Amino acid sequence: MKRLLHSCTALTLSFAFTATALAQEPLKALGAGEGEVSIVAWAGYIERGETDKAYDWVTEFEKKTGCKVSVKTAATSDEMVALMNEGGFDLVTASGDASRRLIAGKRVQPINTDLIPSWKTVDERLQNAAWNTVDGVHYGTPYLWGPNVLMYNTDAFKGEAPKSWNVVFEEMTLPDGKSNKGRVQAYDGPIHVADAALYLMAHKPELGIKDPYELNEEQYKAALDLLRVQRTLVGRYWHDAMIQIDDFKNEGVVASGSWPFQVNLMQAEKQPIASTFPEEGVTGWSDTTMLHADSEHPNCAYMWMEHSLSPKVQGDAAAWFGAVPSVPAACKGNELLTDEGCATNGFDHFDKIRFWKTPVSKCESQGECVPYHRWVSDYIGVIGGR
């Protein structure tokens, strides 16, 4: 029911994009902290040492600034958009399939990069990214980025990584001699349609898909048909990282699209888990810390954005989540990430990742495309067996 409500809320709140979002004026100068800051974030993004004492980038910030941090964890981009529409939060760590919706809906405000000294240290590939910049106006500070990997049980695959996403899209006998039916998962979010489209780009080139987020009616129908096949294989759709971990450990799940976060946690527990980039490529996420248009604590929010870009925080957060830091300086000298961590987590694969973005009706690759509100309603139908 929770999932359905989130998706329905996203459908209700979807809207037509305008070519240009009207920018309000960003903050001109920093003042004293207001004593608190509230953040909507992905699981594992804002840690204060409660899960592992080595991972804490909140306590020092609170002592230094006097701004107490509160966090609301969101499981999907649609939930983030819904929470920001409701209001009452200062910041959100939005992925590319939420950020442009938040900008177009005027739920977030432009930032003054002059008030964030560490802005100049941000990876140049991210400073003017399409998901956080509109007409040269910046809406937030890049935080972390990474791939949606294929996570698998090494026992089920006899220690050899699956080469294709077909293990979660098509019924087959896996290397352990058992069917994959009921033993695979898929992401419980409409953006998963893009994963099906990415698979079809490789296996049905005649469809002419150039961008998995820009689909005409024929391409979109083919993606839905593939997802309906997948529905017959999926034991449970996942959106909660910790529940997915439990499913792999205790419920017999052996393959699914996932985040490095889950892979790292299970590997730390010596579980028979690994991940891979299949031959078709991967989708991924690049997340931006964005300031609510009606933030009640903008000074603390700016202080947090500056804090979030420090090499120490960037390296620690990237190590914890299995992500890539947005500040390249974090890639060297961080004890938790190690000097190999950035390469391991995909630093050099930036151009190979199809980063999440919101599907719109007027698209670059072919003019007319199926907009996101259709993805929302139709994916609910797929999950419901329609």
Q: Which CATH class is domain 2-146+285-350?
A: alpha beta
Locus of tokens 């190999």 = 340
Amino acid identity for residue 102 in this structure: L
Model pLDDT, residue 21: 41
Using left for φ > 0, alpha for ψ between -120 and 50, and beta otherwise, residue 205 falls in alpha
Are 100 and 82 spatial neighbours (Cβ–Cβ below 8 Å)? no
Residue 33 has phi, psi (to 5 degrees) of -65, 150
pLDDT in tens, 23-81: 578 889 999 999 999 999 998 999 999 989 999 999 999 999 999 999 999 988 999 99
Q: In CATH, what number does 147-283+359-383 get?
A: 3.40.190.10
CA distance 167 to 159: 15
**Residue positions counted in the chain:** 386
Number of H helices, E strands in the chain: 14, 17
Other residues' Cβ atoms within 10 Å of the Cβ of residue 48: 16
Q: Could you state, in order of their start, the residue ranges of all structural domains in the chain?
A: 2-146+285-350, 147-283+359-383
Model pLDDT, residue 18: 37
Other residues' Cβ atoms within 10 Å of the Cβ of residue 135: 8
Are 305 and 92 spatial neighbours (Cβ–Cβ below 8 Å)? no
CA distance 198 to 219: 11
Q: Which parts of the chain register pLDDT below 50?
A: 1-22
pLDDT in tens, 278-330: 999 999 999 999 999 999 999 999 999 999 999 999 999 999 998 999 999 99
Q: Is 27 helix (H, G, I), strand (E, B) or coil?
A: coil
Fold matches, 2-146+285-350 and 147-283+359-383: yes
